[in-house]
Chain A
Amino acid sequence: MQGFLTTAPFTILSLPLLGTIFIALVGPRVHRSVSAVIGNLSILGAFVLTAMLAWTVWHLPPDAQVVTVKYPPAWAAHPVFWAHIPPLTISFEMRIDALALLWMLIITGVGFLIHLYSVGYMADSHGYRTFFAYMNLFVFMMLLLVMAGNFLWLLVGWGGVGLASYLLIGFDAQRTAAVLAARKALIMNVIGDVGIMVAIFLMYAHFGSLSYKEVFGNVSAANTNALDWIGIWLLLGAVAKSAQLPLQTWLPDAMEGPTPVSALIHAATMVTAGVYLIARAHPIYDHAPFAAMTVAVIGCATAFFAATVGTVQYDIKRVLAYSTMSQIGYMILAVGVGAYAAGTFHFITHAFFKALLFMAAGIVIHNLDGEQDVRKMGGLAKRMPLAFWTFLIGTLAISGIPPFAGFFSKDAIFDQLLTHGHPVLWAFAVATALLTAYYMFRLLFLTFLSGDYRGTREPHAASSTSMAVPTSILAVLSVIGGWLVLPGHDAISAKLEPVFAGALPEMGGINAMVTGIAIAAALVGIAVAWALYGRASQARTKLRTVLSPLRALLLNAYYFDTIYHWLFEVPALTVASDVARYVEPDGVGGFTSGVAGATTKIGDVMRSWETGYLRRYGLTMVIGMVLVLAFYLYLVHGAAAVGMK
């Protein structure tokens, strides 16, 4: 038992990495399908092992369910292998507890389904092998992020998923838009990395350690001000990674990546790393009320902001991107007010239904040869029944219609917002739920219903088995995933209890009024969407003219990109081009050629000394000798003696 607990985490972590290395080294020499098989099997293996590990851990007594593993055991604290900067020693430690396990299960489980989906989706791609190598690398880094036992290894994983995200967004490197989007995502994410780095410095200053165990064990002794600062800097990391305000602009652009990438990285797992970070650092936020409140407000603002933008977009993946942003806003809001279990629960259900929505959208895009504009779709329900039904399930789930998954997790968040005494945040959350239902059904109607097909390209009918199977599995999970938490039966909180040590209020208590309002809001949203898009209607055109200024604001996502362009990009480019024009040639270049010129001139002067005449050299030597002698006499006998001479 103990042996399995020590070896399994290491094996789980190694499998995707070995997959990457294998595909990178052997992939080009063998048939392309080998890379796909290895890529899939390594993730499946990691998932099976994770499930076994979870089963093992959850059968331990509750107080033993937080397992710290150091690797490799014999070297764990050896300064030669890991960082040793006295008095700080950083070992490679992992922390396996319910929070990490739930995340690992989703990363490997949903990750495997998306890998399987990619086999079909990427079949025509030239970079087939590279794609699976990158995807495996991503899974490895993401697992490292959630399994790490100290903040330094968390940061390694944190930076690593950013790298994998960069590589995969820019996967189609022929298109300028993809490359620019990848660069934007990387820059925004690095801002967050710096935030976490500063938080790590502060932690070292205040706690003298980066290990979760020691930092969290000493938080009650630290002062609130310091904890608030640590919390705020950690939040900067979370905000960048999870595309929250004000660092959210990279996520819609990241949709330039292939759809499986959007499903895995920019919907199900990586972008929820911010939620994980705040839930993981919960002892800090429990003692830092200001930082926690900031988290909640940012989450709530992002949820509402993204939902409003989502109502007017026409790119199917962009709408899903804004909905992801909005749903992560919910999770951040939940963990900000201390409802960690509700946030984690929503992460799980969201991973199911959002990956499902992306996969269904991916089938549509794939069958339309890359078309993403919903204005050129419509009436696709008959042509792509599988995509339609699965997308419908996903839409019902995200809108919070019972008994689909999203209903339970959203309801848990709404309930806990009121329990924790945040009626204003709750009001915004419910308004967001209404908007969510509206824009998701608008998307559904525009894509699959509302009259006939409006596009020009003839859609392919067939979708491959490797795409259909995982989509169907996720559809089932999007229906039943929410049943983890039912009235009187709260599997999530029960599992998370040892991690949060009694700080969790029970979920699943159905408050009739709260639930009723949430469902009513969703139904209103659906009704409005149907009224405007579900049938032939003149109201749409009228509304568009009446609300045109608002519509322009939303279409441009509140002009965040424009503001950042003028605030950061233009000054930076101006400075850079001025430096290139003046400092570079006259300053740097001037200095360099000045040094070169001076050397030449000195050389010219020195050269005239070298006449080649022996007597000249002899004379030089004699003069030198006389000078040395004079100097010596001066030293020995003093100035007076020389004068006398």
Chain B
Amino acid sequence: MAAPQIPLGDYLTVASALFVIGAIGFLLRRNPITMLMAIELMWNAGNLVFAAFARQFVDMTGQVFVFVVITVAAAEAAIALAIVVMVFRRKRDADVDDISVMRG
């Protein structure tokens, strides 16, 4: 017997909660590493929605997309961390508000 079906709404509630936590974290924190982690939360909220719908409609497309997202997220994390390292070497600090030289 299969485990009792978890309703779709529960998945979406969890995903929304993850996303909002991620977004708030991204907006409120100053540490770039923490911000990256917040972004990672948002990625995963999206992944969860994909996977949930894939399961709901028994369609592999959503799951395939999750893999793509994970790959892109890995690449993004690699580049972002490299930038953070470079900034840290230069500034001896890691506050994103200090790197606002790109303003108009």
Residues of chain B within 8 A of A613, CB atoms compared: 96-97, 100, 103
Binary contact readout B77-104 vs A (1 if CB under 8 angstroms, 0 otherwise) = 0000000000000000000110111111
Name the contact of B100 in the complex, choosing from A607, A608, A611, A622 (C-beta under 8 A).
A611
Residues of chain B within 8 A of A609, CB atoms compared: 104
B residues 21-39 touching A (CB-CB < 8 Å)? 23, 26-28, 35
**Does the CB pair A612–B102 fall under 8 Å?**
yes
Least distance between A580 CB and chain B CB atoms (Å): 40
- Distance, CA A239 to CA B28, complexed state (A): 87
Q: Who on chain B is nearest to A611 by CB?
A: B103
- Distance, CA A298 to CA B7, complexed state (A): 102
Least distance between A375 CB and chain B CB atoms (Å): 80
A614 within 8 A of B: yes
Q: How large is the interface on B (under 10, 10 to 19, 20 to 34, 35 or more residues)?
A: 10 to 19
Least distance between A39 CB and chain B CB atoms (Å): 68
A458 within 8 A of B: no
**Does the CB pair B27–A615 fall under 8 Å?**
yes
Name the contact of A607 in the complex, choosing from B96, B97, B104 (C-beta under 8 A).
B104
Q: Who on chain B is nearest to A608 by CB?
A: B104
A618 within 8 A of B: yes
Name the contact of B23 in the complex, choosing from A611, A612, A614, A622 (C-beta under 8 A).
A622
Known: A619-B27, A622-B23. A614 touches B96 (CB 8 A): yes
Name the contact of A612 in the complex, choosing from B26, B27, B103 (C-beta under 8 A).
B103
**Does the CB pair A612–B101 fall under 8 Å?**
yes
- Distance, CA A618 to CA B97, complexed state (A): 13
**Does the CB pair B27–A618 fall under 8 Å?**
yes
- Distance, CA A613 to CA B99, complexed state (A): 8
Q: How large is the interface on A (under 10, 10 to 19, 20 to 34, 35 or more residues)?
A: 10 to 19
B residues 1-50 touching A (CB-CB < 8 Å)? 23, 26-28, 35
- Distance, CA A201 to CA B26, complexed state (A): 73
- Distance, CA A606 to CA B102, complexed state (A): 14
Binary contact readout B46-84 vs A (1 if CB under 8 angstroms, 0 otherwise) = 000000000000000000000000000000000000000
- Distance, CA A567 to CA B103, complexed state (A): 64
User: A-B contact count, CB below 8 Å?
Assistant: 36
Q: Who on chain A is nearest to B28 by CB?
A: A615
Binary contact readout A589-623 vs B (1 if CB under 8 angstroms, 0 otherwise) = 00000000000000000111111111100110010
Known: A615-B27, A622-B23, A622-B27. A610 touches B96 (CB 8 A): no
Least distance between B37 CB and chain A CB atoms (Å): 14
Least distance between B93 CB and chain A CB atoms (Å): 15
Name the contact of B35 in the complex, choosing from A610, A612, A614 (C-beta under 8 A).
A614
Q: Who on chain A is nearest to B24 by CB?
A: A622
**Does the CB pair A610–B27 fall under 8 Å?**
no
- Distance, CA A619 to CA B27, complexed state (A): 7
Residues of chain A within 8 A of B96, CB atoms compared: 613-615
Residues of chain B within 8 A of A618, CB atoms compared: 23, 26-27
- Distance, CA A614 to CA B104, complexed state (A): 13
Residues of chain A within 8 A of B99, CB atoms compared: 612, 614
- Distance, CA A607 to CA B102, complexed state (A): 11
Binary contact readout A603-645 vs B (1 if CB under 8 angstroms, 0 otherwise) = 0001111111111001100100000000000000000000000
Residues of chain B within 8 A of A622, CB atoms compared: 23, 27
Least distance between B20 CB and chain A CB atoms (Å): 10
**Does the CB pair A610–B26 fall under 8 Å?**
no
Q: Who on chain A is nearest to B32 by CB?
A: A614
**Does the CB pair B23–A610 fall under 8 Å?**
no
Residues of chain B within 8 A of A614, CB atoms compared: 35, 96-97, 99-100
- Distance, CA A489 to CA B100, complexed state (A): 105
Residues of chain A within 8 A of B26, CB atoms compared: 615, 618
Least distance between B47 CB and chain A CB atoms (Å): 17
Least distance between B103 CB and chain A CB atoms (Å): 3
Residues of chain A within 8 A of B28, CB atoms compared: 615
Residues of chain A within 8 A of B104, CB atoms compared: 606-612
- Distance, CA A21 to CA B104, complexed state (A): 59
- Distance, CA A609 to CA B104, complexed state (A): 8
Residues of chain A within 8 A of B100, CB atoms compared: 611-614
- Distance, CA A134 to CA B100, complexed state (A): 69
Least distance between A464 CB and chain B CB atoms (Å): 79
Residues of chain B within 8 A of A612, CB atoms compared: 99-104
Least distance between B80 CB and chain A CB atoms (Å): 11
Query: 9 extra interchain contacts, Cβ-Cβ under 8 A, other than A615-B97, A622-B23?
Result: A607-B104, A611-B103, A611-B104, A613-B96, A613-B103, A614-B96, A615-B26, A615-B28, A618-B26
Could you show 17 A-B contacts with beta carbons less than 8 Å apart? A606-B104, A607-B104, A610-B102, A610-B103, A611-B104, A612-B99, A612-B102, A613-B97, A613-B100, A614-B97, A614-B99, A615-B27, A615-B96, A615-B97, A618-B23, A618-B26, A619-B27
Question: What are the 4 closest A-B residue pairs judged by CB atoms, nearest first?
Answer: A612-B103, A612-B100, A610-B104, A607-B104
Residues of A in contact with B (beta carbons under 8 Å apart): 606-615, 618-619, 622
Residues of B in contact with A (beta carbons under 8 Å apart): 23, 26-28, 35, 96-97, 99-104
